[in-house]
Structure 1
Amino acid sequence: MDGIIKIEDVSYNYYGKIPALLNVSLSIKEGEKFAVIGANGSGKSTLLQIMNGLIHPSSGSIFFRDNEVSEKTLKDKEFLRFFRERVGYVFQDSDVQLFCPNVLDELLYGPVQLGLNESEAMDRAFEVMQMLNIENLKDRPSYMLSGGEKKRVAIGSVLTMNPEALLLDEPTNGLDPKTQCFLVELLFALSEAGKTIVIATHDLSLVDELQCRVAVLSEEHRIEKTGSAEDILKDEDLLLKVNLVHEHIHCHGPLAHRHIHSHYLFHKH
């Protein structure tokens, strides 16, 4: 089977009647940088949660390394450990993810749950803190961290488990420019180390910087198109259709002209 993560004809309905995804099929290759983009409410976060086995599709199937990920298979302790060791998830809201007394405990939690001894877990925690430049925060509780610091700790709590695939939901949301730059550099470093990176975002500048393969979700919760970042970002008609850019109309006396507006694209007259 092609792809480390494969999604086959997946649909998901909230409360059995509110559509979030319709007949979505994707294949993500090992070591690939992949972005799922779309307007708010298009189903990006739902799709990532399905990839991570946090929720299960109403219909269709998801596979990780040729193994089906389902409510039934995740009840098997051996497969649950296999899957959780290899797929890490970073929530959009770091406060949802952080629950331990301090930063060091957050980074130790995953490795300890996976059965590493205290010495190995501590080595991993300090290695990751050094990588993320958060060693000085190790004794702080999460409520004493800035938004950017919380994001680094949330990512660190996943990296200490050394997953093969890393799923990040709106990773740049609410971050200052300096932290966004750090995050992009980190994602490149993880990619170069062989990690599979999957992000859900409506931040087109992030997609451009990462130059990843892209799947575009429509507001009808379907895959509208997949392609390279270059192909997707130059397709203004597509981006307008899925509400990722919008069109301004300016009037100058009797004359009117239109131009595309986006936080990524330059204005084109």
Structure 2
Amino acid sequence: MVQPPFLNGIRAFDAAARGGSFVAAAAALHVTPAAVSRLVKLLEERMGVALFVRRANRLELTEAGLAYRDGLAPLLDALARLTEQVAEQAGGGALTIGVGPTFAIRWLIPRLADLQRREPGLEVRITTGGAAVAFSDRWTCGIRLGDGNWPGLDAVRLFGADLLPVCTPTLAASLAQPAALARATLLRVGHAPEDWPRWLSAAGVADVQAQGPVFEFYGQAQQAAADGLGVAMGIRPYIDDDLAAGRLVAPFPLTLPKGSGWWLVYREARAREAPFRKFRDWLLRARTG
């Protein structure tokens, strides 16, 4: 009969393997070095194999110890995630959102005060995500721009992603027709080089070339436009607050669908967690506010 895992011994071994000594492991576990040594010895006796070579001032992993350490790492990580998920299902825990920096700054963060008012006990953590970053199992959910098809993830559509040029009211006064963009500085986004050509073609001025400064993110180009540097290709919902406040204006009525949208994405198991449900319900209300 296989004996059940010796969890205290496993914790002691893991801490000693990470710290390189029983002293370091004892400090991490808040016990004495002698207690750690005894637990590891009991684990070795139960397994019937030596996990460490004991040197005078340090520990060296044996071949078996190396294999055990490497095999334990994903198991302990999975146990930590399981513990966190079960706690969150009971209504506690934190909500971790993977989201691109521009979406976070331009849309999500300005609305978090409303979320806190509605859900005062919900702890929110925002981490850099987006289409360029793989979805992490440590996230509760993410917000992504795309077509809604991410294998292994469920997705709820939030917004369309519409494109339209934006600039300051002063600059807009000199842009009577799209052809006038030939004399303007057209601000570009490095990862979306197709935006300007598509919009200019739809506006009937395909011969106009966008040759202005290139920015890494939409938010940077939008800020440059608000500072009067030129005309940026805005994308909704990034620009909605600036348009409402009059910091930016759309000099032309033509709006072009980008061909993708914004989606709330998550693992199916997360749908049972109270923090996720609270955030999802708030987000679906806030998108229309």
TM-score tier, shorter chain, comes to: under 0.3
Which structure features the higher share of strand residues? Answer: 1
Which structure features the higher share of helix residues? Answer: 2
- Superposition TM-score, scaled by structure 1 size: 0.27
- Superposition TM-score, scaled by structure 2 size: 0.26
Q: Which has the higher contact order (CA 8 A, sep 6+)?
A: 1
